[in-house]
Structure 1
Amino acid sequence: MLTMRDTHTAFDTCHPAVPATYFAATILIAIFAMQPVCVGISLAGALVFSLAARGWRRTLGGLRWQLPMVALVAVANPLFSASGSTLVAQLGPMAIYQESIAYGACAGALLVAVVLWFEDAACVLTQDRLLQLGARVLPTVTLVTSMAAQLVPQLMQRSQTVRAATLATTAAAPEGSRDRGVRVADQLMSWSMEDSIERSDAMRARGWGATDRRSCYLPDSFRNSDAFALAGIVLLAAVSAFLVYAACSQWHFYPTMPRLVAWWGYAPHAVLAFLPTALDLGQRLRWGRVA
């Protein structure tokens, strides 16, 4: 079962290893970059790419619960962590400090940024591309994943069929009978065990497990352009990670927050975060299909 998309991105013409490396590096940097400017860059980059790749309807649909989560974390953190030096309000014995509010807002924005990056990665790295990445490295895991993705929807569809048949035979299981659920589970178990035996026989007949190394069909070949793109992403991510580490090591929320200043070290992180959106817009302008 393949994941279908309505939009295309610049990563569609690359080998799956390129977007997989990019999103792995971007998500790891976003998780550990607990600094206001770095969090803002990660959030903005994930948001604009989500608008380009997933569309504004799906992006806004996700923001309906993501933005309240930021507000909830920002409000809840001062109530549980009364730390800081700038008093904002005094609610009885409870003191609310500006630093606690800033830490909660930054943590909430970081969580939303990571969620958006995962959603963007799921849009680009569809199921067939993920299976292609692990076809030779992890053949058994790839097989189990592909079969689970196929058999779980099939099992749900069969459960509806068995339930409908059970509802039609009221004499075997009257309305409101507790045995109806047991009968449905029993039929599904029998059906699944019979199907598993047939699948194992079919796989054995096709030579699965006959050799240590199994060949596989790879729709995307790893070209020289993919190697250059992969090397560029790794280099950019390494520079960004080093500079983000330097920025985070000089920042602290408690007891007082230092003043944020303009610094050139944020530029590589911004380039990394906005790189897929820039490539996607450039591709759309090239082919004359600006959204």
Structure 2
Amino acid sequence: MWYSYEFKPNLFYLTNPLVVLSLVLGWIFLALLFNHPLYIVTIFIMVNLTIVGAGNGKRLLVQLRYALPFVLIIVLINALFNQNGSTLLLSYNLASFTFNIYWESIVYGGVAGLKLLAIITAFTFYAAVINPDEVLYLARRLGQEISLIINLSFRLFPLIWSDYVRIREIQKHRKPIELDDGQISKIQNRVPTLSILLNNSLNRSLKTAESLYSRGYGSGKYSTYQQLEWRSSDYLLMANTIIMIALALGLQVKGLGIYSYYPSLDSFSLLNYRASLVLALLLSFPLLCNGSGILWHYLK
């Protein structure tokens, strides 16, 4: 299922989870650091290509389908209430209020929405590639309680969604749901499902607590059954992430990562295009490493 962890034979699933976590945090850092549309588009494209290269294209499409409405809302709100542009596209009156829609406001809202999508897709990659057991192993130094909360959180959503799908299927077979275009009717049809889902979640919580208590969780010293090894590819990916972050900070210090949307849009310089190309190469390095590993597997 798209929302649960499923191992795939490629480089990302074999990489040390600490390296994958550093890579994801690097993507998020870049998305939050830059406001230049050229860099944001580059980050978004390369992160999505990496997710597809890891074999999680279906999961990506599902996440984008749920996230795109929020992007449209961001663009709409910014276009309606931000009156700082200079290129007027539309002006209309509504109940003695005048709304002016500027091109700069639309672009700014679109870039802000794209930053949100980049962060969401970065978390999508993290949830798809990292094994929850490895997350528990990494979080062990934070304390047993914190590591347990983190691990249960990663397992909670897939279980709830699986229960929801199963409950809906059973209800459809037992009693066909009446199709109605009204929103109130749709909400009423969901109430029995949510009630059963809540009851099932509470029962699972009690069983989990009983299981932890019966096994003596937290009563003794923390024990591990695996050791996460570092391979040569892990060092390369970690070094690439560090270089990528250093480049981003350098661009920001030099002023190449700063972009002004108001009162008019700044133009792109040749240095911006060159920096974007270098950034794209660094972002594509994990994808190229994964592709070379797949190619070598077929050539052997």
TM over 0.5: yes
Tell whether 2:211 aligns with 1:203. Answer: no
Which residue is 1:38 aligned to?
39
1:232-271 aligned at under 5 Å gives the runs: 232-244=240-252, 246-249=255-258, 251-263=259-271, 264-271=274-281
Relative to structure 1, the CA distance from residue 12 to residue 67 in structure 2 (aligned partners, 3 Å threshold; closer, same or farther) is same
Tell whether 2:31 aligns with 1:22. Answer: no
Maintained 8 Å contact 2:240/2:282: no
User: 2: CA distance between counterparts of 1:28 and 1:242?
Assistant: 14
User: 1: CA distance between counterparts of 2:117 and 2:154?
Assistant: 27
| Aligned-CA RMSD value | 3.7
Length-normalised TM-score, structure 2: 0.71
Relative to structure 1, the CA distance from residue 280 to residue 210 in structure 2 (aligned partners, 3 Å threshold; closer, same or farther) is closer
SS at match of 1:91: strand
Relative to structure 1, the CA distance from residue 11 to residue 138 in structure 2 (aligned partners, 3 Å threshold; closer, same or farther) is farther
Which residue is 1:51 aligned to?
52
1:169-188 aligned at under 5 Å gives the runs: none
Length-normalised TM-score, structure 1: 0.73
SS at match of 2:298: coil
Gaps of 5+ in 1: 161-180
Maintained 8 Å contact 1:38/1:244: no
Relative to structure 1, the CA distance from residue 268 to residue 237 in structure 2 (aligned partners, 3 Å threshold; closer, same or farther) is farther
Relative to structure 1, the CA distance from residue 260 to residue 137 in structure 2 (aligned partners, 3 Å threshold; closer, same or farther) is same
Which residue is 1:192 aligned to?
206
Number of aligned positions between the proteins: 258
User: 2: CA distance between counterparts of 1:149 and 1:70?
Assistant: 25
2:125 is aligned, of 114, 117, 120, to 120
By how many angstroms is 1:260 displaced? 1.1
SS at match of 1:135: helix
16-25 or 268-277, which moves further after superposition?
268-277
Relative to structure 1, the CA distance from residue 69 to residue 145 in structure 2 (aligned partners, 3 Å threshold; closer, same or farther) is closer
SS at match of 1:94: strand
1:140-179 aligned at under 5 Å gives the runs: 140-146=145-151, 153=159
Maintained 8 Å contact 2:135/2:151: no
Which residue is 1:90 aligned to?
91
Maintained 8 Å contact 2:47/2:121: yes
SS at match of 2:26: helix
Which residue is 2:140 aligned to?
135
Which residue is 1:10 aligned to?
11
Relative to structure 1, the CA distance from residue 51 to residue 223 in structure 2 (aligned partners, 3 Å threshold; closer, same or farther) is closer
User: 1: CA distance between counterparts of 2:112 and 2:219?
Assistant: 48
User: 1: CA distance between counterparts of 2:143 and 2:230?
Assistant: 18
Which residue is 2:112 aligned to?
107
Tell whether 2:291 aligns with 1:281. Answer: yes
| Alignment-mate amino acid for residue 128 of structure 1 | D
| Alignment-mate amino acid for residue 139 of structure 1 | Q
SS at match of 1:7: coil
Relative to structure 1, the CA distance from residue 230 to residue 56 in structure 2 (aligned partners, 3 Å threshold; closer, same or farther) is closer
User: 1: CA distance between counterparts of 2:38 and 2:71?
Assistant: 16
| Alignment-mate amino acid for residue 273 of structure 1 | L
Relative to structure 1, the CA distance from residue 118 to residue 109 in structure 2 (aligned partners, 3 Å threshold; closer, same or farther) is same
Larger radius of gyration: 1
By how many angstroms is 1:151 displaced? 8.6
Once the two structures are superposed, what CA deviation does each residue of 1:136-191 show, in whole Å capped at 9, x if it has no partner? 4533322344467679959x98xx9xxxxxxxxxxxxxxxxxxxx8xx97xx67x9
Maintained 8 Å contact 1:236/1:272: yes
By how many angstroms is 1:198 displaced? 6.3
